[in-house]
Structures are given as C-alpha cells and as structure tokens.
Amino acid sequence: MSFRRFAIAAVAVALLGPGAAVAGEPATIAPAKTLSGHGRAVVGATFSPDGRRIVTASDDETARIWDVETGVTLVTLAGHRSYVAKAVFSPDGRQVITITDGETARIWDAQTGAEQKPLSGHADTIRAVSFSPDGTLVLTASTDKTARIWDVGTRTVSKVLAGHGATVGGASFSPDGSRVATASNDNTARLWDAKTGAALATLSGHLKWVRTAVFSPDGRRLVTASHDGTARLWNGETGAALATLAGHRNELDGASFSPDGKVVVTASKDGTARLWDAATGAMTAVLDGHRNSISEASFSPDGSLVVTASSDNTARLWDARTGGMLAVLVGHEAPVWRAAFSPDGASIVSASADKTARIWDVSYFAGQAARRRDLLARRDTALAAFDCEAAKAIDAQVGGDTATACAFDRLLKTGSARDLYLAAGKAERDKERPKAKQLYSAIIDRFPQDDLALKATERLTAIGDVEAVEQSNEAAKKAAAEAKARADAEARRKEEAAAAAKAANGGWNVGDDAYIPGRGMYFAKVSIENLASGRAQVTIQKKCWIANDNNEWCAKDYMNTDTGYNLSSVVWVNVWELRHNARR
C-alpha cells in the first residue's frame, strides 16, 4: 500500500474511530526495526517488563537479548544443545529462562548472559516454562507426563505434579500464585495447589489434546484451548465447567483473557481468531482476514487491541471492541510464529521463520484507543450528572445512543410527579409497560404524599391485572401446544410401531386390523399382501381363526370382486386356497 493510501486509512480511523478500518482498507505498517542475527527461524520474542529489551528464542540453538531503542544485540545466550523453544524474562527483568528440545531448563543473568545453575529433573522434553507472579518459583511442563514447580533460589524441585496420562504441554500459575493449571495430551486440564502439590480438580470434556490452560486476571476462571476446535471456560477454583466456546473449524493453538477478564480471544488453524464474552461464552466477533493458520492472538495491555500472528507471513492488528481489522504488519518473508505487545501497548514484536524478529510502531492506534477510553469516561461522568446534552455530543464521536436513556433516567430521578405521571400514561398508550411501571413506581417512591401516588398505585395494579391475564392466556396456549405435541408424538409412535411390526411379519399388516399367520384369533380387516404377484387382491372382513399351526382356516362372508369368487356360501375356507385363488 502506498503512503497516500496509508494516510487515507489513518485519517478514516482518526475521524470515525478504531472500527472504521472495517469499512475501508486496513492500514499497512512497515517494521520500525528488524532484529537480525539469528542463523535459523526465530520461534519466540517477548518484551522485558520495563519494555526496554526483547528476548528472542531461535532454532539456531541460541537466545538473544536486544536493545529496543537501537535494535542491537546486547547478549547472546549460547550453549544450548538443541533449538531454543522458548525464552522469557523473570517478573523483575533480571533473569531469563530458556527451554530446548531436552529435559533441562536454564536460567541466565539478563544483564551479563551468564548461565546459572540449570533446572534438571524431568525425564523427557520440557514443553512449557513460566515464572510465578512474584518470580520466586518456576513452573515447567514435560513430555514425561508431569509438571514441576522449582525454587528459583535453590534451583531445586519444590513439587512434582503427577497424574496426567500423557504429555503435559502447557502450565500456568494463577495470578496470586496459589494454584497451577496444566494442559495435557490426555484431553484434560488439571488444577493443583501450588503450595502442597495436591491435585484439586480434573477438567474433563475436551475430545482431543488440550494445548493451553490460562487463568483470568482475577483467578476465578480458567480458559482451555484444544485440538478439538473448542475452548472451554471453567471455574478457576473448583474446576466446574462453565461454557464451551464452539465455532472454529480447526484446531486451536491458544486462548487468553483480556486484561479486565471480560473477553476471551482464541487463535486457530482455521485462519481466524475469535472474541467471546467471558461471562456467557457467546461469540462476539470473528477476526477474519489472514490467509493461513493463526498461531497466536493476544490483547494489548489496556485490552483495546488484539494482535495476531499467522503463517501467511503477516501479523495483524484488530479492534478488540468491534473485531475490525485496523492494520496489516507487512515485512516478514516467512511464517510469523509469535507477536506480542510492549508493556505500554505502543509497540509490537514479532518472531518469524525468516530468521528475524521485528518491532512495529502501533502508537497511533494505541493513541486512538486511549482517546476513546477518555471519551467514554467523560460520557460516564456526564450520564452520572444527567448532562444528556454532553453525553449526546460524545455519542456522536464514539457511537451509541446513551442520550435517550439519559433523558429517561433524568426524568426518573429529577422529574416532577406530574411529569412522571404524564410520561407513564404515554408509555401505557404506547404499550411500553415496563417503562410505565418504572415511572409509576418513581412517583410512589419520590412523592408518597402526593395525590398522584394513589393514582400511580391504581395504574400499577391495573397493569398487573392485564399482565396476569396475558400470562394466563400464554400458559393456556402453551399447555394446548404441549398437549398437541404429545398427541402428534403418540400418533407418530403408533405409525412407526405398526410399520416396524409389519416389516417384522413379512409385510403382513399387524395390529388392530391385522391377520398374523399361526397366532390364534384376530379381529380382521386384513389386506393379504406380498403375494407372488406383489399385489393385494383379497380382503377378509370377518374374524380369522387359526386352529393350529398345521391347519389354517378362515370364516368368510364376503364377495371378492377382484377375483370373481363368490365366497359368501362357504363357511370354512382354507387360507392356503384363499391365497392361491388370489394369485389367479
């Protein structure tokens, strides 16, 4: 995209708000800096807690620490005997921990690059690693089916979390550090007490591997992402299932909460990320635009933006409120594996198979989000003061229609008894009963001594009577519909049973009007079917009697017009002969 086109997109976003990019083209952003030096794919990149450094992990068996301002390498963490799968800073930024395709995690001095005593004890490859919120513990997850908690000071194992039946591929601490969640290829996640190592709950329900298990910011909920194409919400303390987030068409690679815990974002191999209401599990937006699988999706620190990393060689920036695409981060020449925001939300770092990490300036979009937050805060203040005109002016800038509700709230709280009564009457005429009830109730609460309070009470009673009649009518309609549904179901059941019985008796009708060979007396209105000709030509309309299995007879008093036989004078007719005659 040319600079002119970028400028047009930027102006549109500035005038219409962050979601405006949905209607037109999203902006294209080039990298501010390229971190070059790794000899093979860069598989991870994250900012330090102060945002001044970046640590990268690479298939070239090293990790590197970079200066964000200059883009130069500060320290190379060398000595690994395999690719470095992950590298993360400690919460204070003074240490970095790395894991490889091996059984050991290594801790490094982030300033000097000096290696400290490694964490050894797992019997197979470590798949995940993280620090506790206070930085005193390290959590690892391994192919040996366990997770382990380590004391950073002594470099010794504090607790072994054993119980999974397959690889433990993900593990995380709760925000207060008291609990641990693990995700396993045995299709479950588990909750553990971080202090004692005791298992608290097994979270069962996924049908395939569980990739990640992450706590909400308040620790009260947990979200898991699975290869079965779903994410699930759980109680973070008891493990009780809360909701299933279904809609993706392929495996999920991750899921995480927004900083306020109200939204969940999921990343999938189906090429989309999705936003979900964390309280209800309802899908609120589909982030659709990538042309290949998405390996990661994460929120900005303020929750207003989402960044996604994809195998289509791009990262993309999205409005977390609307799901609209704001910008495409273009420059990588191979799949982008990871993308993360800086602590201030103004920058993004991405890691790619093209052997580089790149830094992107997204301060414009972060600034727009900050401006929107400020406007929303000002609108809330205006609404609290019933300054509906000011709220309406802000509505015009950020979208919404709070002014109407504001005017109603202002009437409820500050209107006179007469104004309230007139408005309530109009609401009744407009069949807006809930609104009328609020207005009448306001009169009673605020003006209990006013004559209109008595009238308001009478109107509330009248509305209640009308609603009671309507509810009774609705209940009667519902009962009638349910009775009809039961009758229809019973009729279908009888039809299905008759058809099944007929099929089981060689095609002969069975039931109240059936003749069943070899089974005694039956009331008859029998169509003899499945003859050699495949046609039904004889009908018996009296009782049929089966004397025994070897001697079948039938009393007949009927003129069979189809065959031409007059059987009215015959008292006993051999059933075989009747069938035989019918074939002629």
Closest CA to 171 of 129, 137, 199, 232: 129
Looking at 292-401, list the stretches that DSSP marks H as alpha helix, in order from N- to C-terminal side: 363-384, 388-398
Closest CA to 384 of 362, 358, 347, 414: 414
Phi, psi of 203 (to 5 degrees): -100, 95
Kindly give the pairing relationship between strand 168-173 and strand 156-162.
unpaired
Q: Which residues of 185-198 are buried (b: 16+ CB within 10 A; e: fewer)?
A: bbbbbbbbebeebe
pLDDT in tens, the chain (584 residues): 333 333 334 433 333 333 334 445 899 999 999 999 999 999 999 999 999 999 999 999 999 999 999 999 999 999 998 999 999 999 999 999 999 999 999 999 999 999 998 999 999 999 999 999 999 999 999 999 999 999 999 999 999 999 999 999 999 999 999 999 999 999 999 999 999 999 999 999 999 999 999 999 999 999 999 999 999 999 999 999 999 999 999 999 999 999 999 999 999 999 999 999 999 999 999 999 999 999 999 999 999 999 999 999 999 999 998 999 999 999 999 999 999 999 999 999 999 999 999 999 999 998 888 888 888 888 888 888 888 888 888 888 878 888 888 888 888 889 999 999 999 999 999 988 899 999 999 999 999 999 999 999 999 898 888 888 778 888 888 888 888 898 889 888 888 877 776 565 544 443 333 333 433 333 333 333 333 333 333 444 334 433 333 333 343 333 333 333 333 333 333 333 333 333 32
Contact 336, 314 (CB under 8 A): yes
Torsion of CA 231, 235, 236, 238, to 10 degrees: -130
CA dist., res. 437 & res. 30, Å (int): 58
- Give pTM, 2 decimals: 0.69
Kindly give the pairing relationship between strand 325-329 and strand 27-29.
parallel
Q: Give me the residues paired with residue 172 across strands.
A: 181
Torsion of CA 59, 65, 67, 70, to 10 degrees: -40
Please, which contacts does 274-281 make with residues 24 or more away whose CB atoms are closer than 8 Å?
Answer: 274/245, 274/247, 274/248, 275/306, 275/320, 275/323, 276/231, 276/245, 278/216, 278/221, 278/223, 278/233, 280/243, 281/233, 281/242, 281/243, 281/244, 281/245
CA dist., res. 76 & res. 293, Å (int): 31
Q: How confident is the model at residue 372, as a pLDDT?
A: 81
CA dist., res. 202 & res. 334, Å (int): 39
